[in-house]
Amino acid sequence: MEEFLSIPTLGDKFPEMEVKTTHGVKKLPDDYAGKWFVLFSHPADFTPVCTTEFIAFQEKKEEFDKLNCELIGLSVDQVFSHIKWVEWIKENMGVEITFPIIADDMGQVAKKLGMIHPKKGTNTVRAVFIVDDKGILRLILYYPQEVGRNINEIVRVVKALQVSDKYGVALPANWPENPRLKDHVIIPPATSIEEKEERLKKAQAGEIECFDWWFCHKAL
């Protein structure tokens, strides 16, 4: 009978695990308590698309740092392969990879997180897991092996989740560059007649802007 692994879903606590990395053994999510982190997998070391992604992540690391967010890479390669690949990137591309890379050579982490899709081969797909400062899984993305990720989008999503948490708002499509709302945030819809009327009064007073009572927005 085929075995099905239960993988975590949005809102779950990130599963506890001890992992081997290029920066030594780490415990997830405990070693990142109080910090956000992005765990991302790549199919294999010494491959062109993965190399461009690691460079792109490193070049955005300062922006992740400002968001109190750490980066962690992962593939089913061994530690020595990660180390040699990182050395190759520094020597040949002029970029030093400073974040840890998990060596999941037994594939246990990848299986727990659903990173291996049999129809796409035996390597990990390009998965992204965003975990908040309380160890809660907030976003999951899966990309096929042949398509590289947009790192700007991952920065944007971390920022958007933090804004949503802090202000209790939602974020429109392409925030903060929505064609109609610009960098405004969306106020959650009213849940009572009284709240609806209060919202319309605020709109009339110019405190917020509304297309209708259920679709209101404001600047932060």
Catalytic residue (choose from 50, 69, 210, 216): 50
The set of long-range contacts for 148-157, using a CB threshold of 8 Å and a minimum separation of 24, is 148/49, 148/52, 148/53, 148/56, 149/40, 149/53, 149/56, 151/53, 151/56, 151/57, 151/59, 151/60, 152/60, 154/38, 154/40, 154/128, 154/130, 155/60, 155/63, 155/64, 155/67, 157/130
50 is catalytic: yes
The catalytic residue positions are 50
